Amino acid sequence: MSWKSQLADSITTPEQLSERFGIDPEPLRAVAASYPLRITPHYLNLIDTSGDPIWRQCVPDLSELVVDGLPEDSLNEAAFSPVPAVVHRYPDRALLLVSGQCAGYCRFCTRKNRVGTTALTFSTEQIAAGIAYIAANSGIRDVILTGGDPLLLDDDRLEEILMALRNISHVEIIRIGTRVPVTLPERITPQLCQLLVRFQPLYLNTHFNHPRELVAVSVKACARLADVGIPLGNQTVLLRGVNDDPEVMVALCRGLLKMRVRPYYLHHLDQARGTAHFRAPVERGLEILAAMRGQVSGLGIPQYVVDPPGGQGKVPLLPENLLEVGETVKLKTACGIVELPNSLLR
């Protein structure tokens, strides 16, 4: 079956979830009205039991509506957005938001207030303006296609965007951030791989969070990309009740290495509204990292990072960068000392 028909067969309503799992759809209607719901047939089939690590990532939960005092734009991206489709926070790198849609909507998404809605869906003209911005800023060497999920675009549209970026001489590398190898592996067709490889150097970063996601079709999707020569990385988010466990993370990272996917970042959860039930404390993340040393090849140990609100950029979380852990967490960073309320890091 084609990826488009797989996508069209996704679950998008609490009623469909109720049919499948016999749960009461009523309480989930309000959640699904606030934040989009989509679970592909592939991802749905990975669920074993209600509340398991796959379920938690994709099935709406009433906790999402708890008023948690967390901001909607946790990374203050609006302040770094010179034109609507671009986020330009580091001088040499820019995000280009090319698609507002994802194959599945992760309940913990940092952009959950906008993903899957018109607020994150930019017109062809707005994306052209984003590309023009990049063309006019010769300091930008690295363009990261994101959204939403860039691989929900058709091949033709993706090709147009990649060609426009490749026409800019100062753009040295292109990266694509995508979760389709996890949620919609059918999207990684041989044709897509042939298209992407024309725009090298092009890196693809995907987003596996749990070893149970490393199933045969996803392994095959990654193998197709690796076989044509696309370097693969993985960004994981530390999630309570999903992967906040050394054994799980060891299995995940070992499994990724076997798939030729290099663990890149372990993100401490961003402070986005409606995600507080996924928070794990910094100490837990550091403990997991310590446990990985000695059990996983150095090649497979991701950098543990936090993106503090306010937009200073990512800060590596290393025991030696933690100056103080109490009411506040003080971190030593390249641009000085960052102080964060500990409650927000939990």
Q: How far apart are CB 16 and ligand PLP at their closest, in Å?
A: 34
Residue 22, C-beta contacts closer than 8 angstroms, at least 6 positions apart: none
Consecutive H or E run containing 341: strand 336-341
Q: Give the DSSP letter of residue 293.
A: B
Out of 87, 102, 164, 315, the only residue in the binding site for ligand PLP (CB under 6 A) is 87
Which whole-number Å values give the CA distances from 2 to 41, 191, 221, 321, in the listed order? 12, 12, 14, 48
Asked if 213 interacts with ligand SF4 (CB under 6 A), we say no
Out of 11, 37, 85, 106, the only residue in the binding site for ligand SF4 (CB under 6 A) is 106
Asked if 95 interacts with ligand PLP (CB under 6 A), we say yes
Out of 11, 39, 134, 149, the only residue in the binding site for ligand SF4 (CB under 6 A) is 149
How far is residue 278's CA from residue 298's CA, in Å, rounded to a whole number?
27
Which of ligand PLP, ligand SF4, none has residue 269 at its interface (CB below 5 to 8 Å by kind)? none
Asked if 7 interacts with ligand SF4 (CB under 6 A), we say no
Which of ligand PLP, ligand SF4, none has residue 134 at its interface (CB below 5 to 8 Å by kind)? none
Amino acid identity for residue 49 in this structure: T
Structural contact between residues 158 and 108, judged by C-beta atoms closer than 8 angstroms: no
Amino acid identity for residue 182 in this structure: V
CB atoms within 10 A of CB 207: 21
Asked if 96 interacts with ligand PLP (CB under 6 A), we say no
Catalytic residue among 61, 73, 90, 254: 90
Q: Give the DSSP letter of residue 210.
A: S
Collapsing DSSP states into helix, strand and coil, what is residue 117?
coil
Out of 42, 89, 175, 179, the only residue in the binding site for ligand SF4 (CB under 6 A) is 179
Q: For residue 314, indicate whether it is catalytic.
A: yes
Asked if 314 interacts with ligand PLP (CB under 6 A), we say yes
Which of ligand SF4, ligand PLP, none has residue 38 at its interface (CB below 5 to 8 Å by kind)? none
Q: For residue 220, indicate whether it is catalytic.
A: no
Half-sphere exposure at residue 93, Cβ-oriented, CA atoms within 13 angstroms: 11
Q: How far apart are CB 177 and ligand SF4 at their closest, in Å?
A: 7
Q: Which positions are annotated as active-site residues?
A: 89-90, 93, 102, 106, 109, 111, 270, 307, 314
